[in-house]
DNA sequence: GATTAGCACTCGGTAGAATTGAGTGCCAAT
DNA sequence: ATTGGCACTCAATTCTACCGAGTGCTAATC
C-alpha cells in the first residue's frame, strides 16, 4: 500500500504520491472521477481539501492526472497508472484464490495443451479479466521421433515428436506413387536422420533420386518450413467474454475482441512486453492504438532461466493491478512447479 | 423472394404471407418496428394501410408478430422468422463472395486444422456473423500407426495416427522405469495390435506382467479413455468480435461470448440442430435461454453421406437469412470438394 | 511560504414538462 | 370486405430548471 521512493529521474514527494495513489485506487474501484474530498476520505493526510486541490493541479500539470471536464474530479492518465504500478508493493493473492489455484493444479490432468487451456480459464476466473497463456516455441527441443505414415499412395503424414512432448504433423505430398515399403524405409531413414536434432540444426539429406530419398528430402524440407513465422507458439485465451464487462463502449469491445482473434498478434504483443522487461503495459505503452484503453499484465513462465511460456491478463487500464499481478505470478509459479516437477523430478 | 405454399397445418393466405415477409425483411434491414405504411412501400398490394393493419392484428393474434408497445409498429416473433425462413427460396451468394470463396480454396494450404480455422474466418468475413466450424469425430477412422515414444524413464507419449489424417497424443505414465528397449518393443506391439482398428473396436491386450505388456495395456487403456465426452471434435470459431456488432445489450454480448467459450456446448448446440433436421434454429428453438436473441444456421459437411463436420453461423434473430444460408452452404460445399477431392481423387 | 476558509463559478446529470410524431384501433361509410 | 377518417397512445425528443459535486481563486491565517 505504501510506496517506496527509489531514486529515479521523476519522483513525486510523499504527499503527491499519496494523493496520486488515492486517486488511482479510488478510480479503479468506482470508475468515477475522484475529487479532493474523496481523496481525503481514503488517505488521511492532515490537510484541507484546498491543499489537496493545489497538489492535484500540480499532478495534472505533470501529466499524472486529467480532468474529464472542468468541475469534475480527476482521473489517472497512463502515466499516473504507471507510477502507481511502479511503486506497488508486491500484492498477495487472497487465501481463497490461493486455495483455488492449489486445488486446480492438484486436480488437473492430461496433455500440456489441455492443462494450459484450463489454466487460462482458471486465471480468468481468478481475476475476472481475459487471460492469455502462451506456450513458447520449442525451437531447442530435440526430435525424439520422426515417422512417415502414408494415407494413400501420394499423401503421407510426417509425425514428429519433440523432447518437450510436442507432437507436430505435416502433410507430405509426393509427385509419384510410393509403395508401403518405400514409405516405411523413408520413415526409418528420417527417424535416424532427425533423431536428436533440433529444428535449427542442419542435417545431411540424401541426394539420391530414388523414391525413398525423394520422400526423405521432401519431408525434411516440409519440416524446416515450420520456422519462419512465430507460428509454433500456441495461444490459449480464457474468458474473452470478460471483455464485455471491462469496457463500456460497444466499439471498444469489438476492437479488443477483434485483436484477441489474431493469435499471432497477441503473441507478439505479450512477448514484446516481456522483452522490454516490463510486467505491465498500460494504455499506449504497447503500440496498438485499439488497445489504448487496455492494460496488459504478463508473467514469464521459466524453468531454470529457460522461458517455456507466458501467462498474461488483459483488462481495462483501471484494472486491479495488485490482485491481477499477484494472480498472474502465482499461476506462473504453479505452472513452473507443475511442469518443472513433472519433467525433472517425480 | 416469393414464397411457395406447401401444404402444412398452419399456412398463411397469400396476402398475410406477403405482409409477414415484408415486415421481416424490413425489420432485418432497419432493426426498427415496422408499421403498416412501410409494409405498403416495400410490398405493393393494392390495398390501404387500414387493411394491412387489420391483417397485422390477425398475424399478431396468430403469434407471428408482436408490438413492442401500443402505437409502435410490429416486430417478428421467432415464429414469424420461422415462417419466413421456411418459405424462403434458396438464396445465392453474390458474385463477389463467390469469387472470394473460390479464391480462398484455391490458395489455402496446410493441415486440415489450419484450413478449417481459416475457413471459419472466411465464413465470418463473408457474412459478418460469428462462424463455427466443427471437425467431427473420427470414431470410424482406422488407426494407421500407433507409436510409443519415451520422454524419460517413466513418461511416455503415445502418438496415434488415424486414417483421416488426425494425430492424437496421449501421455502414458508408468509406475516403473522402463528401458528404451522395452519401450521400443511395446511400441512395436502396440502398432501391430492397433493397426487397422478403430477407437470402437475391441482388441486383445496381453495379460503378461512384464514391463512391455504393462506399457501396452496402459497405452491401450489411455487411448480408450478418449471416447466418453464428445471431446474429440475440434471447434473453430471465427469472428467472435462480430458478436459485439450483432447485439446491443452489453449483457447479451457477454452471455453469447461466454457460451462461445464453452466449445463442448457449441458442438452440442450445433449438432443438436442438425440432428433435428433443421438448417436454422431461431431464438428459443435451440434450448439455451442466453441465446434467445440469436439465430444459428448450420450446414452439414458430408462426403458420400458421411458427415465429416459442420459449418455454422451465429447471429441475431434478425440476421440476413438468405445470404447467410447461402454462404454457409457454399462454404460447406467447397469444403466437401476440397477434402473429398484431396482424399479420394487427385 | 505554505495552508486554509470562503466563495463564486462551471458544468454534467437528473428530473419534469411539453411537444412531436409514428403508428395504432375503431367506426361509420362505401 | 375495404377504406377514409379520427381520436388516442406512448416512446422518443427537446427544453428548462436546477441540483450539487467539484473546481479555482483570493484573502486571511499559521
Give contacts of A110 with chain B, Cβ < 8 Å. 171
Instruction: State the pLDDT confidence band at B6, using cuts at 50, 70 and 90.
Output: very low
Domain boundaries, chain B: 14-86, 95-136+233-343, 143-224
Q: What is the pLDDT of residue B341?
A: 57
By the 8 A CB rule, do B292 and B281 touch?
no
Write out the three cell numbers for B167: 494425430
Q: Where does the pLDDT of residue B230 fall: very low under 50, low under 70, confident under 90, or very high at 90 and above?
A: low
Count Cβ neighbours within 10 Å for each residue of A132-169 and write b for 16 or more, e otherwise.
bbbbbbbeeeebbbbbbbbbeeebbbbbbbbbbbbbbb
Q: What is the CATH number of domain A95-136+233-343?
A: 3.30.450.40
d(CA A304, CA A238): 27
User: Rounded to whole angstroms, how far apart are CA atoms A162 and A143?
Assistant: 4
Instruction: Give B36-80 as a 3 state SS string.
Output: HHHHHHHCCCCCCHHHHHHHHHHHHHCCCEECCCCCCCEEECHHH
**What is the tens place of the pLDDT at every residue in B70-120?**
999 999 999 999 999 999 988 889 999 999 999 999 999 889 999 999 999
User: For residue A53, which nucleotide's C1' is closest to its Cα?
Assistant: D23
- Exposed/middle/buried for A74, CB within 10 Å: 0-12, 13-18, 19+? buried
Q: Which nucleotides of D are covered by protein (CB under 7 A)?
A: 2-5, 8-11, 20-26
Q: What is the pLDDT of residue A11?
A: 84
Pick the residue with more confidence: A142 or B346?
Answer: A142
Beta-carbon contacts below 8 Å between A and B: 109
Name which CATH class applies to B14-86. Answer: mainly alpha
Which DSSP category does B69 fall into?
A: S
- If DSSP codes are grouped into helix, strand and coil, which group holds residue A264? helix
Residues of A in contact with B110 (CB under 8 A): 171
Scanning residues 83 through 102 of protein chain A, those with a beta carbon under 7 Å from any atom of strand D turn out to be none
Per DSSP bridges, beta strands A280-282 and A294-303 are: antiparallel
Cβ <8 Å between A167 and B157:
yes
Per-residue pLDDT of chain A (346 residues; tens, 9 = 90+): 443 444 345 789 999 999 999 999 999 999 999 999 999 999 888 899 999 999 999 999 999 999 999 999 999 999 999 999 999 988 889 999 999 999 999 999 889 999 999 999 999 999 999 999 999 877 678 999 999 999 988 999 999 999 988 999 999 999 999 999 999 999 999 999 999 998 888 888 888 889 999 999 999 999 888 665 556 789 999 999 999 999 988 999 999 999 999 999 999 999 999 999 999 999 999 999 999 999 999 999 998 888 899 999 999 999 999 999 999 999 999 999 998 755 443 3
Binning pLDDT at 50, 70 and 90, where does residue B153 land? confident
CATH of B143-224, one of 2.20.25, 1.10.3470, 3.30.390, 1.10.1740: 3.30.390
Cα–Cα distance between B130 and B239 in angstroms, integer? 5
Of B144, B245, B250, the CB nearest to A244: B250
Contact at CB, B343 and A157, closer than 8 angstroms: no
B4: CB partners within 8 A, 6+ apart? B87, B89
Query: What are the CA-CA distances from residue B208 to residues A141, B156, B214, B224 (Å)?
Result: 35, 20, 8, 20
DSSP string, B302-332: EETTEEEEEEEEEEETT--HHHHHHHHHHHH
Per-residue pLDDT tens for B161-209?
999 889 999 999 999 999 999 999 999 999 999 999 988 888 888 888 8
Give the distance from CA A107 to its chain's centroid: 23
Q: How far is the CA of A69 from the C1' of D20 (A)?
A: 16
CA–CA separation, A138 vs A162, rounded Å? Answer: 8
Q: B327: distance to nearest CA of chain A, Å? A: 21
Q: Which residue has the cell 489474431?
A: A262
Other residues' Cβ atoms within 10 Å of the Cβ of residue B103: 11
User: Does residue B345 have a pLDDT over 70?
Assistant: no
C1’ C4 / CA A321, Å: 35
Interface probe, candidates A123, A171, A190, A244, chain B, greatest B C-beta count within 10 A: A244
Query: CA A50 to CA B38: how far, in whole Å?
Result: 61
The confidence score (pLDDT) of residue B286 equals: 93
* Cα A262 from Cα A250, distance rounded (Å): 19
CB count in 10 Å sphere of residue A113? 15
| CB–CB contact B253 A255 (8 Å) | no
Q: Is the CB of B36 under 7 A from strand C?
A: yes
pLDDT tens digits for range B231-268: 678 999 999 999 999 998 899 999 999 999 999 999 99
A232 is written with which cell numbers?
509454433
Q: Which residue has the cell 508486491?
A: A90
| Residues above pLDDT 90, as percent of chain B | 77
CB A33 within 8 A of CB A67: yes
Closest amino acid to nucleotide D23 (CA–C1'): A71
**CA nearest to A121, candidates A257, A297, A239, A269:** A239
- Using the structure, give the distance in angstroms from the CA atom of A33 to the C1' atom of C11, rounded to a whole number: 14
Q: Which of A248, A200, A249, A265 is nearest to A227 (CA)?
A: A200
Amino acid at each position: 500500500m505504501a510506496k517506496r521512493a527509489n531514486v529515479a529521474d521523476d519522483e513525486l514527494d510523499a504527499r503527491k504520491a499519496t494523493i496520486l495513489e488515492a486517486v488511482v485506487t479510488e478510480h479503479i474501484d468506482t470508475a468515477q472521477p475522484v475529487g479532493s474530498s474523496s481523496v481525503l476520505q481514503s488517505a488521511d493526510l492532515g490537510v484541507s481539501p484546498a491543499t489537496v486541490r493545489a497538489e492535484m493541479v500540480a499532478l495534472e500539470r505533470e501529466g499524472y492526472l486529467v480532468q474529464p471536464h472542468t468541475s469534475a474530479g480527476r482521473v489517472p492518465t497512463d502515466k499516473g497508472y504507471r507510477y502507481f504500478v511502479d511503486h506497488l508493493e508486491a500484492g498477495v493473492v487472497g487465501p481463497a484464490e490461493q486455495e483455488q489455484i492449489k486445488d486446480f493444479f492438484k486436480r488437473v490432468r492430461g496433455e500440456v495443451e489441455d492443462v494450459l487451456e484450463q489454466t487460462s480459464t482458471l486465471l480468468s476466473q481468478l481475476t475476472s479479466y481475459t487471460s492469455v497463456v502462451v506456450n513458447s516455441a520449442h525451437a531447442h527441443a530435440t526430435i525424439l521421433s520422426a515417422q512417415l505414415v502414408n494415407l494413400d499412395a501420394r499423401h503421407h503424414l510426417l509425425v514428429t515428436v519433440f523432447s518437450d512432448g510436442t507432437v507436430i504433423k505435416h502433410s507430405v505430398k509426393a509427385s509419384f506413387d510410393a509403395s508401403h515399403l518405400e514409405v516405411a524405409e523413408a520413415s526409418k531413414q528420417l527417424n535416424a536422420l532427425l533423431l536428436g536434432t533440433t529444428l535449427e540444426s542442419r542435417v545431411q539429406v540424401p541426394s539420391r533420386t530414388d523414391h525413398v530419398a525423394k520422400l526423405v528430402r521432401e519431408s525434411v524440407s516440409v519440416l524446416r518450413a515450420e520456422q519462419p513465422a512465430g507460428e509454433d507458439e500456441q495461444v490459449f485465451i480464457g474468458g474473452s467474454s470478460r471483455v464485455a464487462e471491462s469496457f463500456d463502449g460497444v466499439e471498444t469491445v469489438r476492437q479488443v475482441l477483434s485483436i484477441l482473434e489474431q493469435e499471432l498478434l497477441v503473441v507478439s504483443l505479450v512477448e514484446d512486453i516481456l522483452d522490454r522487461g516490463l510486467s505491465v503495459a498500460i494504455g499506449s505503452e504497447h503500440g496498438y492504438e485499439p488497445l489504448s484503453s487496455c492494460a496488459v499484465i504478463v508473467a514469464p513462465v521459466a524453468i531454470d532461466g529457460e522461458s517455456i511460456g507466458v501467462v498474461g491478463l488483459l483488462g481495462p487500464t483501471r484494472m486491479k493491478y495488485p490482485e491481477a499481478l499477484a494472480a498472474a505470478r502465482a499461476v506462473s509459479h504453479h505452472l513452473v512447479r507443475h511442469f518443472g516437477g513433472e519433467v525433472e523430478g517425480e
